[in-house]
């Protein structure tokens, strides 16, 4: 018994082995807990990094989606931002519905997953890595410029009556006053309506495809193009309007001073008078050929070409000078041609007149032309440098420099063609320049154009003085055209016109900025479109690509009942294509800019007959109302990148008129950001 107790006591005292086994089990637990803590902390750090990059990528994708409307470009942008931040894989961007209740916007969703290696935790699991994910949602918010905006806080805002409709499927409709409709049939299709008074009529609001409802916000909308705002687009407005003050100071060029000279008459079978020194002819009957040798100057007084006869004056020398003291009149002849050699200068103190069926033709050169009276022009008929009437025509080769003390009267006429070309000034060449005066009393630089009047392009040419600026295209007066006309004005960086444009036929505007010190009216006094205009080959009312029209509103017109209109589009102009320049132009995105003075409330009117009007770019009348009536239609389907942004103090649509814009991602509001993280 004693021996057994002694053995038990000995065994109880020897506990080293038990403690070692217990310590082993405890150490495994301690290490496991420590491993979990360390791996959890590492996972949290990775998730924070994932979330940071997911937020950045989603926000970038939303910005791109807002400006382009392209899901492909948006998801690509999100993936690129993630890659720039070290995540070239494990990135899943997509376009989804907003996770926020009652939010009909589309969001850019980005999920980022990265697996982190397990180190100490391997004692508890067979896995070697742990996937860590983070997700972000971002959407375009209603606090960027809208595509249809009424800026006036005290006016009628945006109003639709008489079957009018407005479609802005990808951007906001915004008013600083009310948004009203006469009936539920006057629909406004848009994802967002911003307003500042009243309540938009819910029965007229229609969500575009893919949206469940229209979001409405009671909020003020800032002017996105105000030059003092510093917002995108405001710099371009400043650039576009910079020349208007200078245009108002344009004065006509001085007439050349020419006296004396030789007079010659060339009839069908006889000639009388004399030719200038170094000019001679061996011809004894029509057609007459007169050869001038050297550079002159060759001084002429009157040149008379008898009925049924024609004459050609030729010179092979470069830099010759021809002086004409009297009017150059084609009379009833079969034509008069001057091939004066390259770089010739023509000083024509008495102007040029083509009538009956007689054509006049000049090779390229510099043309300094005085004034005459056009007997067939409407009263008053004085102060014209070039007159065309009847079936007459005048062709100037190019490139040429035109310095005209008076205006151009082109009442009718033209060579047999479709349509007849009555007047061509360097057409088909690119480095012409134009400084054109105006008729004495009528005040037009181009008056009553009928037939086809074609101006050559004026790009890259030597500039001429134009008011207090210089330009390659300068008019001291306005432009008026008749029905059936095809008028093509030059492409030039700047077109300075101290007057209004009042067109009643087809008109093609060459690319560039048009600073018009007056109003622009198309079809206000008649239609309309012209078939096979030689500059387009298609039916055209207005064709103006890469063009910005800047309108001062110094003079206005009543447009089918809309008084004091600075812009008028009326009867017969059923084909209008006007597209703003694109980058890097200093006026990129601006199609039509109205008066900038808050005291000038000139309106923009689209009236009866103004169908199929397509304007791509900003149509900006910040101080005057935009009024549409008579089933006028306005859209922006000129090209695939089109975007019509229609801005006025008010936007008033009635009598079956329609507006449609395909701009994407433009909201209203006043905060100035374009996207926001929502989750």
The arithmetic mean of pLDDT across residues 411-419, rounded, is: 55
51 or 535, greater pLDDT:
51
The answer to whether 310 and 288 have CB atoms below 8 angstroms apart is: yes
557 or 107, greater pLDDT:
557
pLDDT at residue 250, as a whole number = 94
Has residue 421 got a pLDDT over 50?
yes
Phi and psi angles of residue 529, each rounded to the nearest 5 degrees, phi first: -70, 155
**pTM for this predicted structure:** 0.79
What is the C-alpha end-to-end distance of the chain, expressed in Å?
80
Closest CA to 481 of 587, 406, 573, 600: 573
Confidence of residue 5 (pLDDT cuts 50, 70, 90): very low
Buried b (16+ CB within 10 A) or exposed e, 584-614: ebbbbbbbbbbbbeeebbbbbbbbbbbbbbb
Closest CA to 32 of 129, 128, 125, 124: 124
Least confident of 180-184, 260-264, 364-368, 381-385: 381-385
Closest CA to 140 of 82, 206, 70, 226: 70
The arithmetic mean of pLDDT across residues 271-280, rounded, is: 96
Cα 619–Cα 625–Cα 626 angle in degrees, nearest 5? 50
The answer to whether 635 and 659 have CB atoms below 8 angstroms apart is: yes
Tokens 């070039």, located at residue: 386
Confidence of residue 460 (pLDDT cuts 50, 70, 90): confident
User: How buried is residue 83: exposed, middle or buried, by Cβ count under 10 Å (0-12/13-18/19+)?
Assistant: middle
pLDDT tens digits, 571-580: 778 889 999 9
Confidence of residue 129 (pLDDT cuts 50, 70, 90): confident
Average pLDDT across the chain, whole number = 86
Confidence of residue 476 (pLDDT cuts 50, 70, 90): very high
pLDDT at residue 676, as a whole number = 60
Closest CA to 679 of 58, 231, 28, 47: 58
pLDDT tens digits, 633-672: 999 865 666 789 999 999 999 999 999 998 876 666 543 3
The answer to whether 543 and 629 have CB atoms below 8 angstroms apart is: no
pLDDT at residue 356, as a whole number = 78
pLDDT at residue 493, as a whole number = 94
Asked if the bond preceding 592 is cis, omega within 30° of 0, the reply is no
Has residue 498 got a pLDDT over 90?
yes
pLDDT tens digits, 27-46: 555 555 555 556 666 667 87
pLDDT at residue 162, as a whole number = 93
Strand partners, 92: 111
Has residue 178 got a pLDDT over 80?
yes
Q: Which of 124-138, 464-478, 632-646 has the largest mean confidence? A: 464-478
Q: Which two tokens stand for residue 287?
A: 């057609």
The arithmetic mean of pLDDT across residues 302-331, rounded, is: 94
Strand partners, 495: 514
Sign of CA dihedral 422, 426, 430, 436: negative
The answer to whether 351 and 406 have CB atoms below 8 angstroms apart is: yes
Q: Which two tokens stand for residue 442?
A: 């009528």
Confidence of residue 613 (pLDDT cuts 50, 70, 90): very high
344 or 43, greater pLDDT:
344
670 or 174, greater pLDDT:
174
Grouping H, G, I as helix, E, B as strand and the rest as coil, residue 265 is strand
Residues 6+ apart with CB under 8 A from 338: 312, 313, 322, 346, 361, 362, 363
Least confident of 113-122, 162-171, 444-453: 113-122
The answer to whether 298 and 292 have CB atoms below 8 angstroms apart is: yes
Grouping H, G, I as helix, E, B as strand and the rest as coil, residue 464 is strand
Q: Which two tokens stand for residue 497?
A: 């016109």
pLDDT at residue 30, as a whole number = 54
Buried b (16+ CB within 10 A) or exposed e, 146-180: bbbbbbbeebbbbbbbbbbbbbbbbbbbbbbbbbb
> Which segments of 379-516 are extended strands (E)?
382-388, 393-396, 401-404, 407-410, 421-425, 433-436, 444-449, 452-455, 464-466, 469-471, 473-475, 478-481, 486-489, 494-497, 501-503, 506-509, 512-516
Per the document, the length of the chain is 679
Q: Which two tokens stand for residue 306?
A: 């008898």
- Crossing angle of helices 71-84/16-68, nearest 10°? 140
Q: Whole-angstrom Cα distance, residue 360 to residue 364?
A: 13
216 or 519, greater pLDDT:
519
Q: Whole-angstrom Cα distance, residue 599 to residue 149?
A: 20
pLDDT at residue 414, as a whole number = 52
Buried b (16+ CB within 10 A) or exposed e, 263-289: ebebbbeebeeebbebbebeeeebebe
135 or 638, greater pLDDT:
135
Closest CA to 419 of 336, 508, 537, 543: 537
Q: Which two tokens stand for residue 185?
A: 């049939």
Has residue 128 got a pLDDT over 80?
no
CA distances from 171 to 147, 215, 427, 659, 664 (A): 6, 11, 42, 13, 5
Can you count the helices (H) and strands (E) in the chain? Answer: 5, 58
Least confident of 10-19, 128-137, 429-438, 612-621: 10-19
pLDDT at residue 265, as a whole number = 95
Least confident of 54-68, 327-341, 595-609, 642-656: 54-68
Strand partners, 604: 567, 626
Has residue 2 got a pLDDT over 70?
no
């Amino acid at each position: 018994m004693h021996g057994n107790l002694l053995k038990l006591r000995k065994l109880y005292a020897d506990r080293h082995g038990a403690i070692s086994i217990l310590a082993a089990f405890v150490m495994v637990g301690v290490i496991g807990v420590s491993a979990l803590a360390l791996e959890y902390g590492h996972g949290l750090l990775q998730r924070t990094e994932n979330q940071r990059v997911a937020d950045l990528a989603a926000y970038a994708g939303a910005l791109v989606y807002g400006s382009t409307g392209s899901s492909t470009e948006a998801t690509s942008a999100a993936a690129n931002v993630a890659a720039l931040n070290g995540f070239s894989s494990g990135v899943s961007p997509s376009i989804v519905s907003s996770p926020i209740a009652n939010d009909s916007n589309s969001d850019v969703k980005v999920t980022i997953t990265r697996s982190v290696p397990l180190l100490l935790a391997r004692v508890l699991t067979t896995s070697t890595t742990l996937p860590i994910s983070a997700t972000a949602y971002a959407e375009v918010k209603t606090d960027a410029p809208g595509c249809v905006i009424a800026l006036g806080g005290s006016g009628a805002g945006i109003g639709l009556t008489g079957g009018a409709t407005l479609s802005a499927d990808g951007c906001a409709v915004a008013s600083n006053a009310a948004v009203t409709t006469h009936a539920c049939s006057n629909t406004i299709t848009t994802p967002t309506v911003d307003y500042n008074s009243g309540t938009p009529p819910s029965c007229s609001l229609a969500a575009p495809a893919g949206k469940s409802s229209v979001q409405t916000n009671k909020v003020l909308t800032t002017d996105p193009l105000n030059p003092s705002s510093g917002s995108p687009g405001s710099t371009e407005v400043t650039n576009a309007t910079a020349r208007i003050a200078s245009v108002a100071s344009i004065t006509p060029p001085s007439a050349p001073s020419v006296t004396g000279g030789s007079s010659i008459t060339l009839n069908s079978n006889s000639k009388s008078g004399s030719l200038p020194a170094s000019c001679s002819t061996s011809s004894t009957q029509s057609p007459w050929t007169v050869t001038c040798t050297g550079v002159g100057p060759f001084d002429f007084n009157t040149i008379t070409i008898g009925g049924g006869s024609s004459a050609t004056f030729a010179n092979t020398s470069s830099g010759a000078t021809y002086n004409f003291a009297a009017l150059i009149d084609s009379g009833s002849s079969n034509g008069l041609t001057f091939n004066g050699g390259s770089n010739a200068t023509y000083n024509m103190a008495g102007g040029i007149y083509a009538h009956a069926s007689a054509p006049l033709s000049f090779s390229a050169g510099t043309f300094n032309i005085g004034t005459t009276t056009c007997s067939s022009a409407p009263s008053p008929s004085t102060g014209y440098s070039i007159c065309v009437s009847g079936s007459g025509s005048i062709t100037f080769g190019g490139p040429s420099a035109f310095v005209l003390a008076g205006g151009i009267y082109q009442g009718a006429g033209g060579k047999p063609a479709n349509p007849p070309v009555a007047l061509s000034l360097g057409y088909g060449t690119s480095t012409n320049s134009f400084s054109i005066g105006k008729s004495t009393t009528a005040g037009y630089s181009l008056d009553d154009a009928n037939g086809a009047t074609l101006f050559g392009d004026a790009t890259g040419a030597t500039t001429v003085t134009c008011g207090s600026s210089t330009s390659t295209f300068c008019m001291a007066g306005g432009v008026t055209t008749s029905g059936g006309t095809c008028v093509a004005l030059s492409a030039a960086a700047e077109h300075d016109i101290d007057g209004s444009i009042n067109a009643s036929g087809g008109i093609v505007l060459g690319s560039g900025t048009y600073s018009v010190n007056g109003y622009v009216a198309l079809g206000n006094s008649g239609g309309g479109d012209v078939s096979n205009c030689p500059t387009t080959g298609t039916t055209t009312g207005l064709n103006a690509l890469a063009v910005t029209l800047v309108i001062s509103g110094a003079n206005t017109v009543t447009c089918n009942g809309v008084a004091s209109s600075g812009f008028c589009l009326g009867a017969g102009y059923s084909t209008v294509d006007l597209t703003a320049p694109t980058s890097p132009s200093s006026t990129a995105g601006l199609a039509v800019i109205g008066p900038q003075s808050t005291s000038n409330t000139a309106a923009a009117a689209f009236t009866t007959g103004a169908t199929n009007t397509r304007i791509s770019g900003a149509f900006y009348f910040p101080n005057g109302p935009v009024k549409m009536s008579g089933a006028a239609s306005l859209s922006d389907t000129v090209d695939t990148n089109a975007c019509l942004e229609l801005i006025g103090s008010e936007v008033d649509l009635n009598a079956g008129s329609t507006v449609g814009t395909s701009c994407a991602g433009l909201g209203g509001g006043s905060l100035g950001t374009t996207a926001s993280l929502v989750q």
